[in-house]
Every structure is written in structure tokens, then in C-alpha cells.
A and B are shown apart, each in its own frame.
Chain A
Amino acid sequence: MARRTGLWSIALAILMVAPAFAHHSFAVYDHTRTLTLRGTVTRFQWTNPHGFIEMDVQQSDGSVKHYSVELTSINMMQRVGWRSNMIKAGDKVQVVVAPLLSGEPVGLGLEVVLADGKTMALPVPAIGSFKRTDTQE
């Protein structure tokens, strides 16, 4: 019984921390691989509960695929140095994302190389749980 209570304490301790960080679960994203998107920003959306980078990514066959990159809360971003004017439509950026498991063209942004070459990390909770493979999209 003591052992069972102990296990539940651990489970609870994990649960009590996990949902508190984010407005929702990040379990919809693939934790086993990342994609590197290089493309042109169509919109940088500075909103809560999450920000977004909308971008067009050139494919190897010449076609263009549109991606939505989900970011964290802009409050968290702002506290670690992000600003709403850091990205604008037309910017060429490189973004490392954890892709949506469903296969739809959406990714969770983990890191962004801005148009001026500066690398900005995203304050994603448990970011280490996303295995970086940085496959070129």
C-alpha cells in the first residue's frame, strides 16, 4: 500500500507540474524527430494563448508548402527577449519544428534563425523531450 501511495505521489508530482506550464498538451507533436523549415514568412502572429509564424516553404519539386509554426505564449517569449517586431512578412527564416503527429503542415517551433542570422530559442516546456533530428523539409 505504501508503495502504491508512493507511485501515485510521483505520478501526481509529474502531473502537477506538466499542465501548469502550458495552456495545452504538446503531446500532439512528434517527440522523436524535428524538421528544419527554410522559407518566407507570410505572417508573424503575436497573440495568446500562442504565437504563430506562418511561412511558405519551397519543396524540392519546386512547389510551395505552407506551414503554421505554433509558438509558446507571447508572455513567455517576451520574458526571454522576444519582441513582436523581430519577424515580419517577407523575412527569410529558418525554423526547427517538432511536426504535428497527424501529418498536417503544422509544427511546434523550437528554434528560429531570424532574417539577420540571429538564433532565438523558444521557451518550450520540457524542450529536451523533443529529439532533434533536424531533417530538411
Chain B
Amino acid sequence: MSRRDLAGAPSTSEPLLRVEELRVEFPTEDGVVHAVDGITYQVLPGRTLGIVGESGSGKTVASLTTLGLTRRQGARISGRILFAGQDLVTLPEDRLRAIRGNDIAMIFQDPLSSLHPLYKVGAQLIEAVRAHRDVPKARARERAIELLALVGIPDPARRVDEYPHEFSGGMRQRAMIAMALANEPKLLIADEPTTALDVTVQAQILALMERLQRELGMAIVIITHDLGVVAEMADDIAVMYAGRIVETASAARLFAAPEHPYTWGLLRSIPRLDGPRAADLVPIPGTPPSLIHRPSGCHFHPRCPYAQPDHARIDPALEPTPDEPSHYVACLLSAQVRRGLWQELAAGRTPARALEAVGQPGAPA
């Protein structure tokens, strides 16, 4: 479990962010919540990593921890988060504060609750600028107007003096992005940035993030449950389940040849705009597990149609696939069986039929 490289990453480039064996636990009255359970990933300068998972998969906690935002909640944190030669896990709060909102910025799902309703948008932008730069207020205000123009808000010189409630949902998210960009961060973490938005506005915001990435050369970590969004945005993808990364590869590879049954489940359970219409959706049975009482062995085995009896005992490690060393998967099925199963599933067969076709005994019902 030492160094692992993310898929598709040119090995010459030094990673901007490197997360190693990160573990985040929250002790509660009901037991210890294992929110993040030993994840490793890296983000290269100027590239986009998509972290995909459902609610409770640990994707948000991992990112909040990067910014030190879980410290005060009594979290037990271990592992390393290396950014620009420093370990953010052990960095003292005052030095972390110099990085947060400066070198690393974050935008959240709900722009209405992330903006203060009683302060003008401009005042909040000015605060973001002056938190890290010793500039006069008038200069910071100019910068605020510049930022609003940069994110495509019409008439920024007037809008800068409006309150958040006077902005539409899409404009609020633009304002949040403007705030995140105030100090030209090297890394932008976007946690479900478009989930609360309508589809046409979502397309605008994603296009904006891509344009800003090209212009400013920043790296992006985009956290989402929407496979469509990561397919549009990400160079590399990590799929999280129950606090772990279960599969990671380049975006092209992950969608063309996914290896983990959970990834298959996600891909087959959403209707696609460009797919055949008649095909029945294949839901993933059951529900996401509790992070306090996690299933034994492979955490996905209770919901996995292909699980064998010993999968309830053995905990799979994240290992490279035989034919693509930058593609990692944590699955106990053999690579050959996995390939056979995915071929059947991709051809539209049900999990039961796929199992029959590869001659594998099914999971005990």
C-alpha cells in the first residue's frame, strides 16, 4: 500500500496534491463512523479529477479534510495530504488558513446557503480578496468587479452592490466561483457544484469551469454523483463506495472498460439520453451500507450480484488491472471473469444472464 499513481497521469509531472492512505473517523454515541477508509489519490497541475459516489460514500468528507474543515468536528484523521511539499494533515491551523481560500479553494453544492444573506455579494468578494492580500478596499472592490465579469455576470459594476437574494441560482453559483477564484488558486475543489441547478444552467457552469481552468491553469477536483457530469469534465475518475476508492482510471478507460461491479451498477442504472430506450434499467439491489457497521470482507458484497461466498471474508485491495497498469480496481473476481461479465452487461444482458454466460455460480440469494 505504498505509492500509487492515478490512471492517465503523465509520470513526468509532479502531482499538485497527493493524498496517501487518508483515514477519517468520527467517534459518535452510536459507534465510530468510518467516513474515509484509507484512500490514496493524486491531482496533477491543470488536470481534473472526478470523484464519483453516492451520499455517504465519504467523497465530501475527504475533500473537507483536505482543507482542514473536519478538524473541529472531533474527527480522527490519519494518513498524509501533501500539497506543495507540506502535509496538510499535521499543518498548524494558522498556516493552513494561509492555504485555504488562497492556494486551494472550494465551492459547495448550495450557493444560497454558502453566501451570507445580509451582506452584499461585493462585500463578500472583497473579504475573500483581503483575507489573503493586503490591498486597499478600493483596489479589492475593483478586483471583485473583475471577478464577477470573469465568471460572466452581466453588468458587474452594478451587480457587485446587490444582495445574494437578488441573484438567480446560476448567478449565485457564478458568484461562489468568483469568490473561490479571488486569489487564483492552484486547486479548486468543487463539491456537487451543479446539483442544485437546472440542466441548462448546469451546462453553463460546467463550461465556465472548463474555460477558467484553461485560462488560469488550475487543477480541479469535482465531486459528484452524476456520471454524466464527470464524463464531461474529468480527465481521471475515482469511484468511491463506503469510504473507499473501489476503482480508478482515466475517464476514457473507466467508461469504456469499467472493472468494478459497483461501477457497472452505476452505469447500467441510469437511463442515457443517447442509449436505446427500451432497455430496462438494472438497479443495484439494496441500499448503501452504514459507515458504522460496515459489511465484512468486500464492503460491496451484500449488494453485488456476482459475489462468491468467500467475498464476505476477504477484503480486496486496490490493485492494478493486468492490461492497464494505471487502472486500479478493488474486486475479488478474477480479471478474466470481470471482462466476460462486462461484455455481457454492455450487450444489455441482466446480471443473472451475464453470470450464466461466464459460467460462474451466482450469489446465494
User: Do these two chains really belong together in a complex?
Assistant: no
**Chain A residues within 8 Å of B, Cβ to Cβ:** none
**Chain B residues within 8 Å of A, Cβ to Cβ:** none
